[in-house]
Amino acid sequence: MKKYRAVIHLTEMERANLALNNVANLLNDLGEEETEVEVVANSEGVRALSKAGPFVERIGELARRGTRFVVCARSLAALGMKEEEFVEEVEVVPTGTGELVKRETEGWAYVRP
């Protein structure tokens, strides 16, 4: 098991750059081998992880470094978006809130940029 585990909560497109910077800084500071990171996007934050978004390359780079990216299925439905609109590194979970609760219950640190 990794020594450090953090879940990054992304709810706004405007905060996506900051969230991705937080992930990179965390991995650089604590080490990729020691750190497990998951970005949970819901509400408008899901747009940042789409193929049409400006962060496709950064998502790929951070995923290669071990970061998991998930989006909320309910948010997708509310925004009229489909799973196919997202980069391959992104997984769909039933609810973003449920994913956050699971991670916090498991002892993950919660970060909201």
Give pTM, 2 decimals.
Answer: 0.96
- Strand ranges inside 1-113, DSSP E: 4-10, 35-41, 68-72, 90-93, 109-111
Our measurement of the distance from residue 12's CA atom to the centroid of its chain's CA atoms, rounded to an integer in Å, reads 12
- Residues 4-111: name the CATH superfamily: DsrEFH-like (3.40.1260.10)
Residues 15 and 46 sit within 8 Å (Cβ to Cβ): no
Digit-by-digit pLDDT tens for the chain (113 residues) are 789 999 999 999 999 999 999 999 999 999 999 999 999 999 999 999 999 999 999 999 999 999 999 999 999 999 999 999 999 999 999 999 999 999 999 999 999 99
